[in-house]
């Protein structure tokens, strides 16, 4: 039998799951399709699961879903109820596997049976003592894993039982079982203050969304030590995948929306501004609430754009002046309101925002438009809205592709930054020369070196930046912190006449050969500031710092990916010589004592912040 191509395999599995989206059996059949596939070309992600119950059905969900995201999952599933031994034994399979993330799927029923099965017979003092012991045990695991170099840990919260041991009375007292388990879950979240790498898998929220009685299966729990229904594992796996997806750097950036039937009910060109459905009463409140949810999405750094077949003047008047519009013109980073092909509009939006089609989500209520865009722009995620507008918000909130582990200051300002970028584009068309455009921007830069407050943003950039990224190494916050101890982590902030751009460029530089050589491990820049000579200023300062520290050689490397062809000649055009060609990558070197040094951009006024350590 001839092997299917990865693209054909992805298409076949997508169609299979679309027919049975909530079926665990569909994932088993999808795994059969993957059994003979060669996935070695895909980037890998190593995940370890330590469990106190039978969680084996999650294997298929995680493997299939990560494949659909373009990632090959390597999974270590610890032996049943051996989680403590795996953590404490330095020679255990967990540490031999060397995972990138560890998921602790441990139920309170196994961790502390007395709090679940003997609660009614415990005194308040005993309940408090056992609660503290649970928290102490989990803290000890995290400390042990951290000492072993396993920084990224996902801990499942505890499930509040459907029937408490004291019945209805339990919910009326602060020291009841329900309140105690909720308090334990809150303490797990607070542990993130001590363990920044910790992530909480909110099992209680997931089970509540599905329904506790639909989530749990007592018979299967008794027979197979698997307390959850097989039908919930697709949702369980998807929720866990939010964490593994984010750690792998997979996330979309922009939601592109239709107008008629999407942001308001009806057709503006036929019903007029007074006749469309958008109000505080039904059915207009469905659309207004959807807009509220979209606005909240922008506060997490997601961009909004419009792609609508409409009369532009009428549509913009509606957006600007209708009293019940929540979203206004300033909330959209790109607008295409015309009678053009929506696939062409989508490509234009991607070009304007300088992001790939694979960073876009297109949302429309038209089956025809959705199918056309899906065929013409397969990289984009297409979401067709149903006929029932009351479901819009739920569908939006169910999109995992916009999730992220942390929200940075740059995220909160991203929409404004892209609107300012549009103003810069208009200025560029007015300038007679490129040099005149650069000068008119009045750019100022602040370069921070080993500044710990930049760790979240630097880690985020390594995980998300694809186009201007010389090596495309993906790093976590703890890894960035370690690089600050071992070398120099640069973070460049830029502002211009239109506003603050935030941290838009970063580099990780590590000393080698006793400091005689500085190696640029990572050099990357936001797509928002490409072609503004900012990269030259950062490279020039790295070279100057290396020479001042006594290094004689600066080494850089380019590792090609499907998206970073833009920087293929970056080092070569800045005076570096080819040192070696290994596989697909090229290593370059610069003699800091003999040849000319890289020159900073003459259009950026740079301020160097005092470095904590160089």
Instruction: Report, as an integer, the average pLDDT of 60-68.
Output: 92
**Domain 413-420+428-608 is found in CATH 3.40.630.30:** yes
Q: Which residue stretches of 405-517 are H helix?
A: 409-412, 414-430, 434-441, 455-464, 477-486
CATH of 6-247, one of 3.40.50.1110, 3.30.465.10, 3.40.190.10, 3.30.450.40: 3.40.50.1110
User: 508 with 483: CB under 8 angstroms?
Assistant: yes
pLDDT over 70 (residue 215):
yes
pLDDT in tens, 195-207: 988 999 999 999 9
pLDDT in tens, 397-412: 988 888 877 777 777 7
Q: What confidence score (pLDDT) does residue 1 get?
A: 37
Q: Which of 369, 314, 367 is nearest to 345 (CA)?
A: 369
pLDDT over 60 (residue 235):
yes
pLDDT in tens, 32-45: 999 888 998 888 89
Helix (H, G, I), strand (E, B) or coil at 316: helix
Helix (H, G, I), strand (E, B) or coil at 93: helix
pLDDT classification of 58: cutoffs 50, 70, 90: very high
Q: How far apart are CA 16 and CA 30, in angstroms?
A: 7
Instruction: Report, as an integer, the average pLDDT of 511-533.
Output: 90
pLDDT over 60 (residue 248):
no
Residue with tokens 């594992």: 233
Q: What confidence score (pLDDT) does residue 31 get?
A: 92
Instruction: Report, as an integer, the average pLDDT of 518-544.
Output: 92
**Beta bridge mates, 265:** 277
Q: Structural domain boundaries of the chain? A: 6-247, 254-402, 413-420+428-608
pLDDT in tens, 554-572: 999 999 998 899 899 999 9
Look up residue 194 and give its two tokens: 């001590």
Strand ranges across the sheet with 153-156: 72-77, 44-51, 101-105, 153-156, 198-201
Q: What is the mean pLDDT of the chain?
A: 90
Instruction: Report, as an integer, the average pLDDT of 524-536.
Output: 86
Q: What confidence score (pLDDT) does residue 3 get?
A: 61
Span between the terminal Cα atoms of the chain, in Å:
58
**Beta bridge mates, 557:** 587
Q: What confidence score (pLDDT) does residue 354 get?
A: 83
Instruction: Report, as an integer, the average pLDDT of 161-179.
Output: 82
More reliable by pLDDT, 129 or 197: 129
pLDDT classification of 611: cutoffs 50, 70, 90: low
Q: How far apart are CA 393 and CA 289, in angstroms?
A: 7
pLDDT over 80 (residue 250):
no
pLDDT classification of 114: cutoffs 50, 70, 90: very high
pLDDT in tens, 17-27: 878 776 778 99
User: Would the CATH topology of 6-247 be identical to that of 254-402?
Assistant: yes
- Top CATH class of 254-402 equals alpha beta
In terms of C-beta density within 10 A (0-12 exposed, 13-18 middle, 19 or more buried), how is residue 120 classed?
A: exposed
Give whole-number Cα distances, 341 to 134, 137, 256, 422, 560, in Å: 59, 59, 14, 22, 33
More reliable by pLDDT, 436 or 376: 376
pLDDT over 90 (residue 292):
yes
Q: How far apart are CA 564 and CA 573, in angstroms?
A: 16
pLDDT in tens, 317-338: 999 999 999 999 999 999 999 9
pLDDT in tens, 342-382: 999 999 999 888 888 999 999 999 999 999 999 999 999 99
Look up residue 148 and give its two tokens: 């072993």
pLDDT over 80 (residue 388):
yes
Instruction: Report, as an integer, the average pLDDT of 127-155.
Output: 96
């Amino acid at each position: 039998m001839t092997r299917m191509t990865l693209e054909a395999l992805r298409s076949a599995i997508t169609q299979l799951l679309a027919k049975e989206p909530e079926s665990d059996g569909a994932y088993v059949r999808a795994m059969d399709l993957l059994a003979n596939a060669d996935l070695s070309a895909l980037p890998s992600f190593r995940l370890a699961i330590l469990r106190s119950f039978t969680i084996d059905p999650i294997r298929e969900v995680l493997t299939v879903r990560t494949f659909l995201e373009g990632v090959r999952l390597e999974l270590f599933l610890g032996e049943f109820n051996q989680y403590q031994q795996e953590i404490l034994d330095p020679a255990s399979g967990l540490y031999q596997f060397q995972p990138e993330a560890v998921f602790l799927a441990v139920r309170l029923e196994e961790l502390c049976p007395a709090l679940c099965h003997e609660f009614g017979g415990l005194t308040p003092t005993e309940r408090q003592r056992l609660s503290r012991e649970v928290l102490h045990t989990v803290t000890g695991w995290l400390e042990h894993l951290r000492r072993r170099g396993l920084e990224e840990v996902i801990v499942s919260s505890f499930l509040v039982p459907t029937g408490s041991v004291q019945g209805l009375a339990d919910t009326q007292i602060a020291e009841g079982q329900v309140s105690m388990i909720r308090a334990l879950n809150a303490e797990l979240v607070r542990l993130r203050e001590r363990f920044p790498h910790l992530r909480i898998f909110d099992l209680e929220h997931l089970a509540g969304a599905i329904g506790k009685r639909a989530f749990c299966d007592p018979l299967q729990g008794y027979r197979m030590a698997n307390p959850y229904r097989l039908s919930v594992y697709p949702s369980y796996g998807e929720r866990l995948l939010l964490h593994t997806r984010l750690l792998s750097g997979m996330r979309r950036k922009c939601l592109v929306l239709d107008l008629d039937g999407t942001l308001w009910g009806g057709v503006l060109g036929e019903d007029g501004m007074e006749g469309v459905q958008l109000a505080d009463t039904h059915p207009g409140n469905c659309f207004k609430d959807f807009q509220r949810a979209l606005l909240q999405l922008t506060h997490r750094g997601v961009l909004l754009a419009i792609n609508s077949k409409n009369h532009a003047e009428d549509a913009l008047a509606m957006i600007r002046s209708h009293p019940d519009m929540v979203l206004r013109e300033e909330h959209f980073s790109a607008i295409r309101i015309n009678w053009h092909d929506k696939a062409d509009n989508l490509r234009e939006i991607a070009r304007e925002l300088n992001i790939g089609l694979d960073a876009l989500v297109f949302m429309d209520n038209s089956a025809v438009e959705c199918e056309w865009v899906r065929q013409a722009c397969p990289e984009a995620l297409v979401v067709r809205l149903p006929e029932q507008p009351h479901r819009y918000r739920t569908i939006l909130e169910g999109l995992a592709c916009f999730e992220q582990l942390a929200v940075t200051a740059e995220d909160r300002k991203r929409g404004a930054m892209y609107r300012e970028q549009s103003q810069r584009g208009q200025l560029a068309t007015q300038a007679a020369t490129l040099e005149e455009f650069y000068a008119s921007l009045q750019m100022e830069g602040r370069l921070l070196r080993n500044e710990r407050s930049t760790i979240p943003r630097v880690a985020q950039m390594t995980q998300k930046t694809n186009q201007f990224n010389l090596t495309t190494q993906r790093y976590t916050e703890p890894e960035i912190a370690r690089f600050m101890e071992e070398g120099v982590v640069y973070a460049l902030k830029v502002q211009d006449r239109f506003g603050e751009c935030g941290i838009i460029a970063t580099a990780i530089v590590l000393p080698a050969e006793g400091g005689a050589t500085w190696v640029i491990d990572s050099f990357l820049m936001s797509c928002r500031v490409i072609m503004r000579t900012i990269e030259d200023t950062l490279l020039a300062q790295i070279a100057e710092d290396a020479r001042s520290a006594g290094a004689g050689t600066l080494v850089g490397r380019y590792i090609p990916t499907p998206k970073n062809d833009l920087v293929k000649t970056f080092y070569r055009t800045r005076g570096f010589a080819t040192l070696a060609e290994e596989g697909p990558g090229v290593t370059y070197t610069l003699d800091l004592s003999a040849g000319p040094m890289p020159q900073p951009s003459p259009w950026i006024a740079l301020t160097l912040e005092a470095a904590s350590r160089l």
